[in-house]
Structure 1
Amino acid sequence: MSYSDCLSDLLCGEDSSDIFSGESPGCSTDLESHDFEEESSIASFIEDERNFVPGFDYLSRFQSQSLDASAREESVAWILKVQACSGFQPLTAYLSVNYLDRFLYSRRLPTDGWPWQLLSVACLSLAAKMEEPLVPSLLDLQVEGARYIFEPRTVRRMELLVLSVLDWRLRSITPFSFTGFFACKLDPTGDYIGFLISRATEIILSNIKEASFLKYRPSSIAAAAILCAANDIPNLSLFNPEHAESWCDGLSKDKIIGCYRLMQDLVLDNSQRKPTKVLLPRLRVTIRARTRSSGSDSSSSSSSSSYKRRKLNNCLWAVDDKGSPE
């Protein structure tokens, strides 16, 4: 076989006249067909999204105080702070909270603060590994406002527990799976799509701490966020939210309207609320024993402190499947 014969096998078989004719025989130029395929994909997301959220009674556990809503809010606030300081994508922060909620639905944590912090670090680390091109070390990930600092091997053990509870399903369906499609539906001209997506993303993250949104699925949250973003654009602010149900099969008008109204109230409330900075003491959690000092008081303090650190690293793994300490 000659060199030219080998080379010919690597070349495309189109006629050059087909290339410059403006027609592509292998591809459809029908935009309506493309739109139908995209809408079918979004509809499949809506059908599957229930598999990537906590159960329907998750919110009621916070309302009955069997789960601590303030502890969840503090954990989510820390995740958002690290996301902003590290330059992570909004999707990374949302996935972190999604992992946290799905874990809490299946496993109960002790009520004191450090297990929640450890879970937050593990969920953020897993989400960053899924979405970020560069991931800080586990120690560097904890530098922003963390009350407790955990050894990397402790975080990795917690990551394995989270993966086990989530059945290794980390590629979740989130509101960001829908925002671009819904923005195009609201603004077919494409003049404001960039703003709608950016503003909706900001609204979604600003409200993620609120447990009330746990009753709504990602598609409803995305639709409500796009509608709220449209209120800032005079040309789109007159759109009737009740018509958002027509954007895709599977959407619920009642859920979209309910989420939209809640979101409007919280957006207004957040704009009037001044942020307060809370400084928390930071405790380094480690299992390495410290060197005893010569003084009796300092020696006693060091021994007690070393015991507490060993206890923090080990007691989480003595929690049984029902969530009660063994």
Structure 2
Amino acid sequence: MDSLLCDEKWVVSPYSASDCCEHETFEMSGGSERTGCGGSRFGMTQQERDAAIAVCLEKEMGCMPGSGFVECVEAKGLVFARTRVMQWLIKCRSRLKLSYSTIFLAANYFDRLISICKCQEWQLWIAELVSIACLSVASKFNETLSTLSIHEIQMEDLDHSFQPSTIQRMELMLLQMLGWRLVPITAYSYVELLTCNGNFLTSHLHEQFITKVNDLLLHSLMDINFAEFRPSVIAASAFQCGLDNVLTLSSTVCLTNYIHQIVCQDQREIDLMKCQKLMEVWLASECFKAIACGSFSCYPSSPVTVLLAKRIDVNDDHVDLSIFMVQARSCIGITKSKKTKRLRKSIS
């Protein structure tokens, strides 16, 4: 049972930083959203937020896809499939009224699994099964007010349908491969910390800013080029792009200081310029405008893939998850080794 124990630490108290003000953020965005855990109406002090940012910056690299992720995805022929998965997650957020943080968790799980898995022969049904498992696990972990059913998750925009037992098997495999590390720092984590500042939420203009930033971050999920940047850099780029004539002078100063906190190193500032240029290009694109107005529905064309008019039912007996087995065992071994080292250190 040791492999089933999750000893991952929260960034701060689970009811203060990463989840606080989740409720207010969604209300400001103009929709009746399903909220994740938290929902505190009390902001953080400046000292608490500074400490939380420091922990986020220290932790964010630990739950990113491995180096050379873009090349890995290209080598496996998964660029198109990954884009479709991210588009599907974005549409699921709107359709199922999920919190933003749930979608960013699911996207992180998906990319990390691709990075870990050594299989070079991915098929579309495998990518869809993994994406369903990622969203299911993320919603169970983050959506405390209600639980999604497998039927709800599979209702739209998939070429294949899977039995609950198949998805449950994939969920367990996913958890093992991720080493049960389910609290990654994502770009949206920095939005949550920003909106925990009560002073920042005093103007209706801030609603426009947060909405724009959220749309930019959702788009960044679809473009694999953003995967090369740290979550803090992506978040800071979205903040910079969202500044345009939206905030008051005092809030702009506050936000500029906040951006400086999360990209205070020279290399991060260089990456920020690269990431911001990439984001500005997409900001003017029709694809981004479709996401922003909620009408995003198209998939990119593929020279080799034809979207099926009728879904294919995949029987549990025909789903072979052996391609994930070796990696899962390896990840479990690494997790146990880390636990042993921490135990020995605490004893000594």
In the superposition, the TM-score normalised over structure 2's length comes to 0.67
Mean Cα deviation higher: 221-230 or 65-74:
65-74
Structure-2 separation of matches of 1:66 and 1:284? 24
Matched position secondary structure for 1:208:
helix
**1:93 equivalent in structure 2:** 103
Give the secondary structure class of the aligned counterpart of 2:161: strand
Show the counterpart of 1:303. Answer: none
2:149 matched to which residue of 1?
Answer: 137
CA contact (8 A) 2:66 2:116 kept: no
CA deviations 1:183-228 (Å, max 9, x no partner) are 799x969534333222211210122111000011111111111111
Distance 1:125 1:80 in 2: 14
- In the TM superposition, 1:158-169 aligns within 5 A as 158-169=170-181
1:255 aligned residue: 271
SS of residue paired to 1:88: coil
Q: 1:176 Cα deviation (Å)?
A: 2.0
Q: In the alignment, residue 213 of structure 2 is paired with which amino acid?
A: A
- How far apart are the structure 1 equivalents of 2:104 and 2:288? 21
Letter in 1 for 2:234: I
**Residue in 2 that maps onto 1:127:** 138
Q: Distance in 2 between matches of 1:139 and 1:93?
A: 18
2:226 alignment partner in structure 1: 213
SS in 1 for 2:284: helix
Output the CA distance in 1 between the equivalents of 2:170 and 2:237.
34
Q: How far apart are residue 268 of structure 1 and its match? A: 0.9
Who is 1:195 aligned against?
208
Q: 1:79 aligns with which of 82, 89, 98?
A: 89
Equivalent residue of 1:139, what SS? helix
Identify if the C-alpha distance between structure 1 residues 207 and 34 changes in structure 2 by more than 3 Å, giving closer, same or farther.
closer
User: Do the aligned partners of residues 69 and 248 (structure 1) sit closer, same or farther apart at CA in structure 2, a change above 3 Å counting?
Assistant: closer
Which amino acid is the alignment partner of residue 48 of structure 1?
A: K
Larger radius of gyration between Structure 1 and Structure 2? 1
User: By how many angstroms is 1:143 displaced?
Assistant: 0.8
Partner of 2:117: 107
| 1:282 counterpart = 2:311 | yes
Query: What's the counterpart of residue 246 of structure 2?
Result: 233
Structure with more contact order per residue of length (Cα contacts < 8 Å, sep ≥ 6): 2
How has the CA–CA distance of structure 1 residues 284 and 46 changed in structure 2, closer, same or farther, with 3 Å as cutoff? same
Deviation at 1:244, TM superposition (A): 6.7
Equivalence for 1:178: 190
Question: Does the Cα contact within 8 Å between 1:180 and 1:193 map onto a contact in 2?
Answer: no
Post-superposition offset of 1:108: 3.5
Q: 2:321 aligns with which of 291, 316, 319?
A: 316
How many angstroms apart in 1 are the aligned matches of 2:88 and 2:258?
33
Task: Output the CA distance in 2 between the equivalents of 1:204 and 1:198.
Answer: 10
In structure 2, C-alpha distance between the alignment counterparts of 1:318 and 1:188, rounded to whole Å? 48
User: In the alignment, residue 133 of structure 2 is paired with which amino acid?
Assistant: A
Decide which moves more: 269-278 or 203-212: 269-278
Residue 174 of structure 1: CA displacement?
A: 1.4
In structure 2, relative to structure 1, the CA distance for the partners of 1:96 and 1:87 (3 Å cut) is same
Amino acid at match of 2:48: E
Partner of residue 62, structure 2: 51
Mean Cα displacement is larger for which, 88-97 or 248-257?
A: 248-257
Aligned residues: 264
- Identical aligned residues as a percent: 25
Cα separation, partners in 2 of 1:238 and 1:182, compared to 1, 3 Å: closer
Q: Is the 8 A contact 1:58 1:214 kept in 2?
A: yes
Tell me if the contact between 1:139 and 1:150 (Cα under 8 Å) persists in the aligned partners. Answer: no
Residues 66-116 of structure 1: per-residue CA shift (max 9 Å, x gap): 342111111111222222111111111111110000111111343221111
CA distance in 1, matches of 2:64, 2:159: 28
> What is the RMSD computed on CA atoms of the aligned residues?
3.1
- Contact 2:110/2:130, CA 8 A, preserved across alignment: yes
Structure 1 stretches lacking a partner, 5+ long: 1-32, 288-309
CA distance in 1, matches of 2:101, 2:201: 26
Q: Helix, strand or coil for the counterpart of 1:225?
A: helix
